[in-house]
Amino acid sequence: MSQTEALPRPANSPSKIELPRNCTFSETDWLALAPFWYPVAFSREITNKPYAARLLDERLVIFRLSNGEVVAARDLCLHRGVPLSLGWVENDQIICKYHGIRYDRHGQCVCIPAQPQATIPARLKLVTYSVLERYGLVWVRLVDNGATHFPNFDEWDDPDYLPVLPDSVDINAAAGRQVEGFLDVSHFAFVHVESFGESNNPEVPNYAVERSSHGFRADYISTVSNYPNGLKHLNPPGFLWRRLFEVWLPFTAKLSVFFPNGQLHILNAASPVSARKTRLFVPICRNFDKNAPLQDTLDFNHQVFGEDKEVVEEQYPEDLPLHLQDEVHIAADKSSITYRKGLAALGLGQSFTA
């Protein structure tokens, strides 16, 4: 499926966009971020029982219909402000635990048990959001104001590839900080020395960055092996490792690593729960070593992203500075600089939390 081909379940949006209560983003930044797609749950987590999630400070309730479709709505009964995630689903209707008020799949109130014969107020209608299921994840966007590119991870559905879906990672840091760290190629020898980094090989060769309609690509070639420590002997002498990064602004990036015997693809999808909290989803697939123990892949992934988390959660300022004069840059920061420029071009503030 192409980046703009996906057909989401339609949203029922209010005529006037309202920021979430106690929003941790500025209004400008929230409005700039809300039209994009973010993962909010694993598909396996969504059943006919209400599931609570949060995206850009907005509280969501998500549930699955009998036909398999997924509904996402604001987690709020408009009668007396009780979260609908406390209720239950029956006959494809979500029911508020407080007074039993029922809403259908479109968010329309269809029953008020205390007054079954009364006319239902027109305003008793939920705000619903566009939903897509891709790569084992449920994706939501809060504002539909035109087409935005959806991340392309076609290898996930390719039968030649083994798909792996690790647990999500909760990070007490800005999504922008996490994504920038994922794109960084000069920290391998230091942050990842216990997993795959090579302390005796810190030099970063020059690499190419090319802008795209949805972000940019960075093509990085070096001698740093992607084999875990303990398996470095598998690296052929003189082999050049290609790492191709592709970014979908604002917070999704794909890394393709070209191994001697195949390709590994990682989708780094950082979901901004709030300005200082991120839930990271990382679908992975490879077309080699498909019979290797799955737990080894999960353990390695957990170690690598745990090493990144330890650093990212301590970065200061917590906001990702978009004004390039706020921090000192080096030649190896080419991806980082391009990323910050891309975020600024979306209309985000010069220093923003996301």
Helices (H) and strands (E) counted in the chain, each on its own, are: 5, 21
Output the pLDDT for position 108.
97
Q: How many CA atoms lie less than 13 Å away from 131 in the CB half-sphere? A: 28
What string of H, E and C letters represents the secondary structure of 2-36?
CCCCCCCECCECCCCCCCCCCCCCCHHHHHHHCCC
Task: Assign 353 a pLDDT band (cuts: 50, 70, 90).
Answer: very low
Give me Rg for the CA atoms of the chain: 22
Closest CA to 270 of 34, 38, 36: 38
Rounded CA-CA distance 227/215 in Å is 28
Rounded alpha-carbon distances, angstroms, from residue 61 to 87, 127, 320, 333: 10, 11, 29, 39
Rounded CA-CA distance 172/16 in Å is 31
Output the pLDDT for position 354.
42
Rounded alpha-carbon distances, angstroms, from residue 348 to 177, 252, 337, 340: 14, 16, 15, 10
pLDDT digits (tens, 9 = 90+) for 309-333: 999 999 888 888 888 888 889 899 9
Rounded CA-CA distance 221/241 in Å is 5
Instruction: For each of the domains in the chain, give its residue range(s) and CATH number, in order of start.
Output: 46-141 (2.102.10.10), 154-352 (3.90.380.10)
> pTM above the 0.85 mark?
yes
pLDDT digits (tens, 9 = 90+) for 260-309: 999 999 999 999 999 999 999 999 999 999 999 999 999 999 999 999 89
pLDDT digits (tens, 9 = 90+) for 216-271: 999 999 999 999 999 999 999 999 999 999 999 999 999 999 999 999 999 999 99
Q: Is the dihedral of CA 77, 80, 81, 82 positive or negative?
A: negative
Output the pLDDT for position 6.
46
How would you class 199 by CB atoms within 10 Å of its CB: exposed for 0-12, middle for 13-18, buried for 19 or more?
exposed
pLDDT over 90 for what percent of the chain?
A: 81
Tell me if 149 sits within 8 A of 248, measured CB to CB. Answer: yes
